Amino acid sequence: MSLPTLRLPEHLAGPLAAGHPWVYRDHVPGTPPIADGAWVRVEAGRAAAVGLWAAEGAIAVRTLRRAPTGGPLAPPDRAWVEDTVARALATRATVATPDTDAYRLLFGEGDGLPGITADRYGRFAVLKTYAEAYRRPGSDAFELRGLVVRALAGALRLKGVLAAPQDDAPLTALHGELPPPEVTVHEHGLAFLANLHEGQKTGLFLDHRDNRATVRALAAGRTVANLFAYSGAFSVHALAGGARRAVDVDVAPAALRDAERNVAANAGRYPERAAVDPRGRHATLALDLLTDPAAALRHADLVGSDLIVLDPPSLARHKGQRHAALRAYRRLNAAAMAALPDGGLLATASCTAQVAPEAFRAALAEAAVEAGVDARVLHEAGHAADHPVPLAFPEGRYLKFVVLRVDRPS
Ligand SMILES: C[S@@+](CC[C@H](N)C(=O)[O-])C[C@H]1O[C@@H](n2cnc3c(N)ncnc32)[C@H](O)[C@@H]1O
């Protein structure tokens, strides 16, 4: 098959040969007459790759197959997709344990299938695609998605492979059956209810799984303020780790109702402790935390909590919002640090891809100055092994997670 070929600037030869999976539109000469979602060959220097053309958006080509020193390249076929999916599943061997049946099966660019993610929730896999052509019948991208669905269904004992609700389309079965309104899954031995039909992300924020285990290990005897809690997963882990009390705060009342049910679903897994907080073990509060975080913490009576989890939503969609995001991180973290007592812990996260780990750490350092505290890093992480990041694609590492100890020396 002869593919339309795009000659890219010479300086892209290195990234292309190394496996960077994106070609930005700024680097494409002119406006080539290629159908949205069609296979295209790109070349720079001696390097070549085959990818999918996107007619709109900042990413013009998502590459899948490459030839670092040139030569012929066919578009991915069924055997290639099966092999790529098998490699992705092998990478999850350490994640998929009897204790954990909710994790990311395919992390798009990180698994050689740019623009496609798949999350496992027990016997269901939920696919999400990041270019419209993947969802448009007749395009090469749509055919590729079909091969991925087949490969997943062939490799795993699944009841259904689903397309996540997207662009007003509801959850759809691409293979097998639709799930019930709620499925129960397990993360490090704890149970969680996931609504695949309506939940945020594809149901749960799976990327924090190991970070929640870290909080569990730090929580014994502490009172926890779980800010931007969603369905309370950090609190469930903290209570399982022996926290005295956990309060979930989020702007979404429906998520907080799920938090109550998740905390209740694990009641038998919390250690019995003599020193349970007299106000009870768990509470939820629907509150906006972004407008004035310091006032919100006072209003919620959370000043003095000695373990604060801070996991805001993505605060920048594109480069132009990066500075505003950094200001917001500084403000949020300063408010949390100021609310902690001497020796308190702050487990703080950023899922904004536009903010690099160094920039996030710098914002935390500024927040400590603003709050007038000493803050030391006890632990730093990103996402877990089910979110692999190619060395040639540092943009893939979007999640930052830092645990700080806050001191107020006299
Ligand atoms: C990254 S998610 C949190 C995930 C959660 N930590 C977990 O482990 O499942 C961000 C959350 O922030 C909430 N949110 C968004 N804007 C908010 C605001 N202004 N105030 C409070 N919560 C907000 C969303 O409803 C969402 O649940």
List the one residue out of 62, 70, 22 whose CA is nearest residue 43. Answer: 70
The alpha carbon of 316 and the centre of ligand 1 are apart by a number of angstroms equal to 14
Answer yes or no: is pLDDT of 5 > 90: yes
The alpha carbon of 17 and the centre of ligand 1 are apart by a number of angstroms equal to 38
pLDDT score, position 64: 97
Confidence of residue 273 (pLDDT cuts 50, 70, 90): low
| Cβ of 311 less than 6 Å from ligand 1 | yes
Domain 205-407 CATH (choose: 3.60.15.10, 3.40.50.150, 3.40.50.720, 3.10.20.30): 3.40.50.150
Confidence of residue 409 (pLDDT cuts 50, 70, 90): confident
Could you tell me the CA-to-CA distances from 191 to 9, 134, 234 in Å, in that order?
51, 33, 12
| Cβ of 289 less than 6 Å from ligand 1 | yes
> Which of 185, 226, 250, 292 best tests ligand 1's pocket when mutated (most atoms within 8 Å of CB)?
250
Q: In this structure, are residues 52 and 34 in contact, taking their beta carbons and an 8 Å threshold?
A: no
> What's 100-154 look like in SS3?
CCEEEEEEHHHHCCCCEEEEEECCEEEEEECCHHHHCCCCHHHHHHHHHHHHHHH
> Which of 119, 228, 289, 308 best tests ligand 1's pocket when mutated (most atoms within 8 Å of CB)?
228
Name which residue leads in pLDDT, 317 or 114. Answer: 114
pLDDT score, position 22: 97
* Residues 91-118, mean pLDDT to the nearest whole number: 96
Contacts with 206 (C-beta within 8 Å, 6 or more apart), sequence order: 102, 103, 104, 119, 386
Query: Which is the catalytic residue, given 351, 355, 399, 403?
Result: 351
Q: In this structure, are residues 108 and 130 in contact, taking their beta carbons and an 8 Å threshold?
A: yes
Q: What does the alpha-carbon distance between residue 205 and residue 162 come to, in Å, rounded to a whole number? A: 17
The C-alpha angle with vertex 149 and arms to 351 and 1, in degrees rounded to 5, equals 105
| CA atoms within 13 A of residue 164's CA, in its CB half-sphere | 22
Q: What does the alpha-carbon distance between residue 350 and residue 325 come to, in Å, rounded to a whole number? A: 10
The alpha carbon of 311 and the centre of ligand 1 are apart by a number of angstroms equal to 7
pLDDT score, position 140: 98
pLDDT score, position 175: 98
Answer yes or no: is pLDDT of 200 > 80: no
Task: Kindly report the pTM of this predicted structure.
Answer: 0.94
Share of the chain above pLDDT 90, in %: 89
List the one residue out of 65, 153, 41 whose CA is nearest residue 113. Answer: 65
| Cβ of 205 less than 6 Å from ligand 1 | yes
pLDDT score, position 2: 85
| Cβ of 398 less than 6 Å from ligand 1 | no
Instruction: Provide the residue type at 116 as one letter.
Output: I
> Beta partners for 193?
184
| Cβ of 349 less than 6 Å from ligand 1 | no
| Cβ of 250 less than 6 Å from ligand 1 | yes
CATH of domain 78-184: 3.30.750.80
The alpha carbon of 250 and the centre of ligand 1 are apart by a number of angstroms equal to 6
Pinpoint the residues of the chain covered by CATH 3.30.750.80.
78-184
Answer yes or no: is pLDDT of 274 > 60: no
The alpha carbon of 399 and the centre of ligand 1 are apart by a number of angstroms equal to 14
pLDDT score, position 279: 74
Q: What's the fold here for domain 5-67? A: 2.30.130
pLDDT score, position 46: 95
The alpha carbon of 310 and the centre of ligand 1 are apart by a number of angstroms equal to 9
Confidence of residue 201 (pLDDT cuts 50, 70, 90): low
pLDDT in tens, 50-86: 999 999 999 999 999 999 888 889 999 999 999 999 9
* Sign of the C-alpha dihedral computed for residues 226, 344, 280 and 238 taken in this order: positive
Pinpoint the residues of the chain covered by CATH 3.40.50.150.
205-407
The C-alpha angle with vertex 209 and arms to 204 and 215, in degrees rounded to 5, equals 120
pLDDT in tens, 335-380: 999 999 999 999 999 999 999 999 999 999 999 999 999 999 999 9
Q: In this structure, are residues 219 and 241 in contact, taking their beta carbons and an 8 Å threshold?
A: yes
Q: In this structure, are residues 399 and 212 in contact, taking their beta carbons and an 8 Å threshold?
A: no
Could you tell me the CA-to-CA distances from 234 to 27, 343, 353 in Å, in that order?
42, 20, 22
Confidence of residue 1 (pLDDT cuts 50, 70, 90): low
**Residue 351: active-site member:** yes
Confidence of residue 202 (pLDDT cuts 50, 70, 90): low
Pinpoint the residues of the chain covered by CATH 2.30.130.10.
5-67
Antiparallel, parallel or unpaired: β 245-250 and 223-227: parallel
Name which residue leads in pLDDT, 271 or 364. Answer: 364
| Cβ of 290 less than 6 Å from ligand 1 | yes
Taking all residues of the chain, what is their mean pLDDT, rounded to a whole number?
A: 95
Q: In this structure, are residues 134 and 145 in contact, taking their beta carbons and an 8 Å threshold?
A: yes
Answer yes or no: is pLDDT of 258 > 80: yes
Q: Return the residue whose CA atom lies nearest to atom 6 of ligand 1.
A: 229
Q: Return the residue whose CA atom lies nearest to atom 4 of ligand 1.
A: 230
